[in-house]
Structure 1
Amino acid sequence: MKKRKVPMRKCIVTQESAEKKALFRVVRSPEGEVSLDLTGRKNGRGAYISMKREVVDKAESKKLLSRHLEADVPQEVFQAMRSYLEENHID
């Protein structure tokens, strides 16, 4: 049986490569709206962040997402990432 290629993406905070499903994807839509994309299929410019609380905190404090997506990132996006981590007992 042929092995499937695992999609890899790079975290914009830590610069480490990881499997796509082990990272958060934050998207800026063509209309300029920024949102968390847990499905990985939304249209628009995407940025990936590791699923670790300290990485999310660093991205927020240094405004790395805003810089990467060239748009203001609402506080709700960071809150959604933190609540996802708590609900799924990650980190």
Structure 2
Amino acid sequence: MIKKKIPMRQCTGCKEMKTKKELIRVIKTPEEEIVIDFTGKKNGRGAYLCNSFDCLKKARKTKAIERSLKTTIPDEIYDQLEKELTAVEQN
């Protein structure tokens, strides 16, 4: 029986390793755009976040996502992430 390798990624907020499916991916596309990638398949450099406000707050405060993507993150992206996390927590 072949055991499939589960891709693990580190949350930029809490620094915990989790499976890729548990995390939200923020990418910088080759066109230098910052996008939230829900599929996890888009082209570009990615940074990962847990589905929690605490991790988002920590990552924002320490500029962890900005360091990962080597660029500044517009406030709209953080706002969009907050909305997404609110939707996730309500379900």
TM-score (norm. length: structure 1): 0.86
Q: How many residues align?
A: 90
Indicate the SS of the match to 1:43.
Answer: coil
Indicate the residue corresponding to 1:29 in structure 2.
Answer: 29
Structure 2 CA distance for aligned equivalents of residues 88 and 70 of structure 1: 28
Indicate the residue corresponding to 1:50 in structure 2.
Answer: 50
Structure 1 stretches of 4+ with a deviation exceeding 6 A read none
TM-score (norm. length: structure 2): 0.86
The RMSD of aligned alpha carbons is 1.7
For structure 2, the 5+ residue unaligned runs are none
Structure 1 CA distance for aligned equivalents of residues 78 and 13 of structure 2: 14
Which structure dedicates a bigger proportion of its chain to helix?
Answer: 2
Indicate the residue corresponding to 2:6 in structure 1.
Answer: 6
Indicate the SS of the match to 1:18.
Answer: strand
Structure 2 CA distance for aligned equivalents of residues 4 and 80 of structure 1: 33
- Report percent identity of matched pairs: 38
For structure 1, the 5+ residue unaligned runs are none
Determine if the alignment matches structure 1 residue 62 to structure 2 residue 40: no
Shift of 1:14: 1.8
